[in-house]
Amino acid sequence: MTTSANKDKNIGFPLNIKSTIPKHRQELLKWNGWGYKDSQFVYQDGKVHFTGKRYPIGEQPLPHLIGYVTETMGVDLNIQSIERDPPKEFDYPEPNIPQNVFELLKSLEIPYSVKIMDRVTRAHGQTLNDVFILKNGQFKRIPDVVVWPESHDDVVKLVKFGNENNLVIIPYGGGTSVSGAVECPQDEDRPIISLDTSQMNRILWLDKENLVACCESGIIGQDLERELSKLGFTTGHEPDSYEFSSLGGWVATRASGMKKNTYGNIEDIVVHVKMVTPRGVLQKNCQAPRMSCGPDFNHVIMGSEGSLGVITEVIIKIRPLPACRKYGSLVFPDFESGIKCMREVAKQRCQPASIRLMDNDQFKLGMILKPAASYFGIILDGIKHFYITTIKGFNIDKMCVMTLLFEGQEKDVKISEQKIYSIGEMFGGVPAGEKNGERGYMLTFVIAYIRDLGLKYQIVAESFETSVPWDRAVTLVQNVKYLISRDCKNFGITHFVINSRVTQTYDAGCVIYFYLGFNYSNISDPVSVHHQLEEKARDEIIACGGSISHHHGVGKLRTKWYTDTVSRVGADLLVATKKELDPNNVFATNNFLTFSTKSKL
Amino acid sequence: MSAKKFEDLLEPRRRELSNYFYINRALNPQVAVQISPRPSPQSHQEAVLNSKKISELVTEISQKQNVKREEIVKQLRLILEEIGYKKNLQVIRYLGYLLTKIFLKVSTGVYVNHQGISQIKSQMGKCPVVFVPTHRSYADFIVFSYVMFAYDIEIPAIAAGMDFQGMMGMGEMLRNTGAFFMRRSYNDDSLYWSAFKEYVNQLVSKGDLPLEFFIEGTRSRSNKSIVPKYGLFNMILKSFFLSQVPDILFVPVNVSYDRILEESLFAFELLGIPKPKESTSGFFKSLTILKESFGNIYFNFGEPISTRSFFQHKSQHSFGSIHLHETSEEEKKLIPPLAYEIIRRQQLCTVVTYTNLISLILSKNLTRGQQYTGFEQLGVEIGMWKQILQSWGATIFEKDVGEAIRECLKVQQKLLHCDENGNIGLVTNKISVGKLNPSKLKAHVLSEDTISYSVPFIMLQLYANPILHYFVDAALIVIVLRSFGKMIKDELFKHYCTLRAIFSYEFVLLESWFKMRFEDALLKLKQEKIISLHQNGLYYDVFENKYFEEVLISSVQPFLLSYYVVTVVLETVSEMVDEKTILVNVQSVLENALRENKIFIHPYCLTLDTLGNCLMSLAKNNIVKKTRRNNINVYDVNREAVRKLKANLEIYIPAFHVIKSFDMFLHLKSKI
User: pLDDT for A85-104, tens place per residue?
Assistant: 999 999 999 999 999 999 99
Please judge whether A469 and B126 are an interchain contact, meaning their C-beta atoms are less than 8 angstroms apart: no
Same domain, A439 and A472: no
| Residue A180 counted as an annotated binding residue | no
Burial B208-219 (b: 16+ CB within 10 A, else e): bbbbbbbbbbeb
pLDDT digits (tens, 9 = 90+) for B493-532: 999 999 999 999 999 999 999 999 999 999 999 999 999 9
The distance of B316 to chain A (nearest Cα, Å) reads 7
Q: Indicate whether B662 pLDDT > 50.
A: no
| Residue A451 counted as an annotated binding residue | yes
Any A CB within 8 A of B40 CB:
no
Neighbours of B448 (CB within 10 A): 13
Same domain, A470 and A429: no
Q: What angle do CA B163, B169, B170 make, to 5 degrees?
A: 50
Same domain, B653 and B606: yes
Q: C-alpha dihedral over B263, B266, B268, B271, to 10 degrees?
A: -130
Handedness of CA B210, B214, B219, B221 (dihedral sign): negative
At residue B258, the pLDDT reads 95
Is residue A90 one of the residues assigned to a domain? yes
* Domain-ending residue, one of B286, B317, B348: B348
Please judge whether A482 and B127 are an interchain contact, meaning their C-beta atoms are less than 8 angstroms apart: yes
Same domain, A466 and A358: no
Q: What is the CATH number of the domain that holds A468?
A: 3.30.300.330
B187, B219 Cβ separation under 8 angstroms: no
Which residues of chain B are within 8 Å of residue A336 when distances are taken between CB atoms? none
Same domain, A150 and A162: yes
A195, A158 Cβ separation under 8 angstroms: yes
Any B CB within 8 A of A228 CB:
no
Please judge whether A472 and B36 are an interchain contact, meaning their C-beta atoms are less than 8 angstroms apart: no
Same domain, A111 and A179: yes
Please judge whether A395 and B36 are an interchain contact, meaning their C-beta atoms are less than 8 angstroms apart: yes
How far apart are the C-alpha atoms of A448 and A127, rounded to whole Å?
Answer: 11
Domain that holds residue A390: 322-450
Q: Indicate whether B1 pLDDT > 50.
A: no
Query: Would you tell me which residues 95-134 of chain B have a C-beta closer than 8 angstroms to some C-beta of chain A?
Result: 126-127
The distance of B320 to chain A (nearest Cα, Å) reads 9
Q: Are strands B211-212 and B157-161 parallel, antiparallel or unpaired?
A: parallel
Tally of domains within chain A: 4
Is residue B535 one of the residues assigned to a domain? no
DSSP state of A29: B
How far apart are the C-alpha atoms of B323 and A67, rounded to whole Å?
Answer: 43
Nearest-by-CA chain B residue for A486: B126
Q: Indicate whether B173 pLDDT > 50.
A: yes
Please judge whether B243 and A486 are an interchain contact, meaning their C-beta atoms are less than 8 angstroms apart: no
Please judge whether B243 and A543 are an interchain contact, meaning their C-beta atoms are less than 8 angstroms apart: yes
Same domain, B616 and B558: yes
Is residue A598 one of the residues assigned to a domain? no
* Domain-ending residue, one of A434, A450, A466: A450
pLDDT digits (tens, 9 = 90+) for B535-569: 788 899 988 888 888 889 889 989 999 999 999 99
Same domain, B203 and B191: yes
Domain that holds residue B588: 352-467+549-671
**Residue A461, beta-bridge partner list:** A517
- Residues of chain A where predicted confidence (pLDDT) is lower than 50: 1-7, 374-378, 380, 385, 388-389, 597-601
- Find, among B397, B341, B383, the residue nearest to B516 by Cα: B341
**Average confidence (pLDDT) over B7-14:** 95
**Average confidence (pLDDT) over B170-184:** 90
Is residue A342 one of the residues assigned to a domain? yes
Nearest-by-CA chain B residue for A467: B318
pLDDT digits (tens, 9 = 90+) for A430-459: 888 888 899 888 888 888 999 999 999 999
CB-closest option in A395, A472, A482 to B246 = A482
Please judge whether A471 and B321 are an interchain contact, meaning their C-beta atoms are less than 8 angstroms apart: yes
Identify the H or E element spanning A574.
Answer: helix A562-581
pLDDT digits (tens, 9 = 90+) for B398-416: 889 999 999 999 999 889 9
**Average confidence (pLDDT) over B456-464:** 95
Same domain, B661 and B582: yes
B229, B382 Cβ separation under 8 angstroms: no
Same domain, B344 and B357: no
Nearest-by-CA chain B residue for A399: B36
**Average confidence (pLDDT) over B362-388:** 91
CB neighbours of A331 closer than 8 A, spacing ≥ 6? A383, A386, A391, A394, A399, A400, A401, A402, A429, A430, A431, A432
**Residue type at position B248:** I
The distance of A129 to chain B (nearest Cα, Å) reads 27
| Residue A256 counted as an annotated binding residue | yes
Is residue A41 one of the residues assigned to a domain? no
pLDDT digits (tens, 9 = 90+) for B615-652: 999 999 999 999 998 889 999 999 999 999 999 998 88
Same domain, A461 and A516: yes
Q: Please, which pLDDT band fits residue B480 given cuts at 50, 70 and 90?
A: very high
Instruction: Identify the three-state secondary structure at position B247.
Output: coil
Is residue A421 one of the residues assigned to a domain? yes
The distance of B333 to chain A (nearest Cα, Å) reads 18
Same domain, A326 and A315: no
* Domain-ending residue, one of B323, B348, B373: B348
Is residue B137 one of the residues assigned to a domain? yes
Query: Would you tell me which residues 368-397 of chain A have a C-beta closer than 8 angstroms to some C-beta of chain B?
Result: 395
How far apart are the C-alpha atoms of B262 and B294, rounded to whole Å?
Answer: 11
At residue A210, the pLDDT reads 97
Is residue B480 one of the residues assigned to a domain? no
| Terminal-to-terminal C-alpha distance of chain B | 49
ipTM here = 0.86
How far apart are the C-alpha atoms of B555 and B477, rounded to whole Å?
Answer: 13
| Terminal-to-terminal C-alpha distance of chain A | 34
Mutation site, B50, B123, B243, interface A, largest A CB count within 10 A: B243
DSSP A405-451: EEEE-HHHHHHHHHHHHHHHHHTT-EE--HHHHHHHHHHHHHHHHHH
A18, A227 Cβ separation under 8 angstroms: no
Q: What is the CATH number of the domain that holds A357?
A: 3.30.70.3450
Please judge whether A471 and B317 are an interchain contact, meaning their C-beta atoms are less than 8 angstroms apart: no
Please judge whether B246 and A398 are an interchain contact, meaning their C-beta atoms are less than 8 angstroms apart: no
Same domain, B307 and B361: no
| Residue A310 counted as an annotated binding residue | yes
Same domain, A291 and A177: no
The distance of B235 to chain A (nearest Cα, Å) reads 18
| Residue A175 counted as an annotated binding residue | yes
Mutation site, A468, A475, A485, interface B, largest B CB count within 10 A: A475
Is residue A584 one of the residues assigned to a domain? no
| Residue A311 counted as an annotated binding residue | yes
Q: Which of A112, A242, A513, A515 is catalytic?
A: A513
B246, A483 Cβ separation under 8 angstroms: yes
Any B CB within 8 A of A485 CB:
yes
The distance of A468 to chain B (nearest Cα, Å) reads 9
Same domain, B433 and B569: yes
Which residues of chain B are within 8 Å of residue A476 when distances are taken between CB atoms? 243
**Residue A501, beta-bridge partner list:** A358, A513
Phi/psi of residue A553, each to 5°? 95, 180
Tally of domains within chain B: 2
Which residues of chain A are within 8 Å of residue B127 when distances are taken between CB atoms? 482
Is residue B597 one of the residues assigned to a domain? yes
Same domain, B392 and B344: no
Cα distances (Å, whole numbers) of residue A255 to A240, A259, A267, A273: 10, 12, 8, 15
Same domain, B341 and B359: no
* Domain-ending residue, one of A294, A320, A346: A320
Which residues of chain B are within 8 Å of residue A485 when distances are taken between CB atoms? 126
* Domain-ending residue, one of A430, A450, A470: A450
A103, A161 Cβ separation under 8 angstroms: no
Q: What angle do CA A195, A200, A202 make, to 5 degrees?
A: 165
pLDDT digits (tens, 9 = 90+) for A320-355: 999 999 999 999 989 999 999 999 999 999 999 999
B522, B466 Cβ separation under 8 angstroms: no
Is residue A436 one of the residues assigned to a domain? yes
B635, B625 Cβ separation under 8 angstroms: yes
Instruction: Identify the three-state secondary structure at position A17.
Output: coil
Same domain, A310 and A371: no
* Active-site residue flag, A513: yes
At residue A57, the pLDDT reads 87
A118, A520 Cβ separation under 8 angstroms: no
At residue B659, the pLDDT reads 44
Is residue B507 one of the residues assigned to a domain? no
pLDDT digits (tens, 9 = 90+) for B264-296: 889 999 999 886 555 555 555 555 666 788 999
Any B CB within 8 A of A489 CB:
no
The count of CB pairs under 8 A between chains A and B is 41
Is residue B150 one of the residues assigned to a domain? yes
Handedness of CA A242, A244, A247, A249 (dihedral sign): negative
The distance of A306 to chain B (nearest Cα, Å) reads 30
**Average confidence (pLDDT) over B320-329:** 93
| Residue A254 counted as an annotated binding residue | yes
Is residue B33 one of the residues assigned to a domain? no
Same domain, B438 and B301: no
Same domain, A154 and A186: yes
Same domain, B335 and B411: no
Same domain, A329 and A428: yes
Q: What is the CATH number of the domain that holds A267?
A: 3.30.465.10
A503, A513 Cβ separation under 8 angstroms: yes
Any B CB within 8 A of A207 CB:
no
Please judge whether A479 and B321 are an interchain contact, meaning their C-beta atoms are less than 8 angstroms apart: no
CB neighbours of A203 closer than 8 A, spacing ≥ 6? A13, A14, A15, A17, A213, A214, A215, A216, A219, A224, A227, A228
Is residue A73 one of the residues assigned to a domain? no
Same domain, B602 and B614: yes
Please judge whether B126 and A478 are an interchain contact, meaning their C-beta atoms are less than 8 angstroms apart: no
